[in-house]
């Protein structure tokens, strides 16, 4: 049993060294998402969809419609959108379909606390309930719009994807996740070895 554990520890040390290199080389391999500030975004500039289709589309990419939580995040995203020359409207996370005037995040189920509305908005003109953003005078602003209108989607990589998950590939896990999963596997292997190494006892009558 001791020899087995020693072998496992040696294997673990070599594998962690290898995994660290893989992590360093592939830390930002979240295609098609691009790191912008502290988050990862993807803007599909080829397919226009309504708000609901946009939400489903982002989820199919392991993400959600983008959700800005601070002015710093908005300014970083604003700079990225301006750099790419995107001037069209983009669907964003949030709607007030349940309670008029109370915008909720569709991805988290919580109220949207940070907003930077376009002048006189949200105005609910002709029953506008879904959140979109657009560039106006080089400034990224929010606006309420009809959910069935078709705009491009701006998706944000789901944070859970960037944390430990046994379903993710090696390059989508950070170093701590790799070590954690390896240790758990080694413990399971040690338990299995211990159970198989114990002599079988015949039942006594």
The pLDDT score that the predictor gives to residue 170 is 43
C-beta pairs of 53-61 under 8 Å, 24+ apart in sequence? 54/91, 54/151, 54/152, 54/153, 55/91, 55/93, 55/106, 55/153, 57/153, 57/155, 58/153, 58/155, 58/156, 61/32, 61/33, 61/155
CATH number for 46: 3.10.100.10
**Higher pLDDT pick, 146 / 5:** 146
- The string of pLDDT tens digits covering residues 55-84 is 999 999 999 999 999 999 999 999 999 999
When mean pLDDT is compared across 14-18, 87-91, 191-195, the lowest value belongs to 14-18
Identify whether 129 is part of a domain.
yes
Identify whether 1 is part of a domain.
no
The pLDDT score that the predictor gives to residue 183 is 59
> For 158-187, what is the mean pLDDT?
57
Identify whether 139 is part of a domain.
yes
Task: Provide the pLDDT confidence category of residue 159 given band limits of 50, 70 and 90.
Answer: confident
Identify whether 204 is part of a domain.
no
Identify whether 44 is part of a domain.
yes
What's the structural domain count of the chain? 1
Structural domain span for residue 83: 34-157
Identify whether 75 is part of a domain.
yes
Task: Provide the pLDDT confidence category of residue 26 given band limits of 50, 70 and 90.
Answer: very low
> For 109-138, what is the mean pLDDT?
94
pTM, entire model: 0.66
Identify whether 65 is part of a domain.
yes
The pLDDT score that the predictor gives to residue 23 is 43
The pLDDT score that the predictor gives to residue 6 is 62
DSSP codes of every residue in 33-87:
-EEETTEEEEEEEEEEE-HHHHHHHHHHTTEEE----SHHHHHHHHHHHHHHT--
């Amino acid at each position: 049993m001791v020899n087995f554990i020693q072998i496992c520890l040696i294997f673990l040390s070599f594998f962690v060294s290898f995994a660290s290199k893989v992590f360093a080389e592939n830390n930002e391999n979240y295609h098609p998402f691009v790191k912008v500030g502290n988050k990862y975004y993807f803007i599909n500039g080829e397919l226009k969809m309504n708000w609901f289709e946009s939400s489903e589309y982002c989820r199919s990419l392991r993400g959600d419609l983008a959700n800005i939580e601070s002015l710093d995040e908005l300014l970083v995203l604003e700079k990225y959108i301006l750099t790419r020359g995107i001037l069209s409207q983009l669907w964003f996370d949030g709607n007030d379909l349940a309670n008029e005037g109370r915008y909720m995040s569709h991805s988290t189920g919580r109220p949207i606390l940070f907003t930077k509305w376009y002048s006189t908005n949200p105005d609910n003109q002709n029953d506008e309930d879904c959140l979109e953003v657009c560039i106006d005078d080089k400034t990224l602003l929010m606006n309420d719009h009809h959910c069935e209108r078709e705009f491009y989607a701006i998706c944000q990589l789901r944070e859970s994807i960037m944390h430990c998950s046994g379903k993710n590939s090696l390059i989508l896990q950070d170093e701590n996740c790799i070590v954690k999963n390896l240790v758990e596997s080694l413990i399971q292997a040690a338990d299995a070895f211990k159970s198989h190494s114990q002599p079988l006892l015949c039942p006594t009558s």
